[in-house]
Amino acid sequence: MTFDLGPSLLFCPADRPERFQGALEKADAVILDLEDAVLPAAKAAARGNLIDAEVDPERVIVRVNAPGSAEFLSDIATLSQTDFRTVMVAKTESADDLRAFDARFSLLALCETARGIHAAPGIAAHPQVVAMMWGAEDLVASLGGTSSRRPDGGYRDVARYARSRVLLEAGAHGKAAIDAVHIAIDDLEGLRAEVEDAAASGFRATACIHPKQVAVIREAYRPADAEVAWAHAVLAAAEGERGVFRFEGRMIDEPVLRHARSVIARAS
């Protein structure tokens, strides 16, 4: 099981079926949301929409409600009546939370509480988990806080720690890491800076909540032409070298070559 859906993951409320196909046309993959985007009174209808949906299941992630919630088992029962097999598990707090899913399902564990961040190593080790994502606002709320960001727009230290921990634990277990949504929809420059940092740090994708954020995310994950040309050149030069060598005034060793391979992979 691997995660290879692309860098832009667009949330779409599952109670808005008229948006499903349009969302898929705009983003690399769509997260059909049964959790926070859907009011309790609309959740049953949202599940029905999943059953009736005529969209490519290979490009759809379904976010289910938190394990232990009143809605969780109903969500799983609904999934069994569909072809959707990639599931984002809201508020994952332990590997035990994932026992309800049989081997048909690939899981994206959303660690967005203090318990979830604390349990990230065990969650990342779960064999059905293909990716991990973190969530800023629910995390801070679980701690009794009121905001994940400072007045200047940057993340508070606790959110930065959670983001780094999820990235590191996912990487340690060979899983993809997905960066959290940028909730200021009109702040495209802030989003761009955040996604550029995510791509450079090793995140594989960024989730978003509005279609106009998709293009910014795709562009930020796509390396510049000059960066791709350099990566090809340094890898070509390495074929005639043994060990550490000098290239265009820079010392090149295996970690740098891995960076170059990553650049080419992101460009493809």
Q: Tell me the per-residue pLDDT of 238-252, one tens digit each, with 9 for 90 and over.
A: 998 888 999 998 998
Arithmetic mean of pLDDT, 176-185: 97
- Cα–Cα distances (Å) from 26 to 22, 160, 236, in that order, read 6, 29, 36
Contact by Cβ (8 Å): 146, 140: yes
CATH class of 8-221: alpha beta
- pLDDT of 171 higher than 80: yes
- pLDDT of 17 higher than 70: yes
- pLDDT of 2 higher than 90: no
| Percent of the residues in the chain that have a pLDDT greater than 70, as a whole number | 100
Report the C-alpha gap between 5 and 59 in whole angstroms: 7
Question: pTM score > 0.85 for this model?
Answer: yes
Kindly indicate the confidence band of residue 1, based on its pLDDT and cuts at 50, 70 and 90.
low
CA-nearest of 176, 187, 183, 182 to 266 is 176
Q: Which amino acid is at 246?
A: R
Kindly indicate the confidence band of residue 149, based on its pLDDT and cuts at 50, 70 and 90.
very high
Arithmetic mean of pLDDT, 68-81: 96
* All CATH 3.20.20.60 domain ranges in the chain, comma separated: 8-221
Q: Which residue carries 């890491």 as its tokens?
A: 177
Residues whose CB falls within 8 Å of the CB of residue 119, separated by 6 or more in sequence, listed in order? 92, 93, 94, 95, 111
- pLDDT of 14 higher than 70: yes
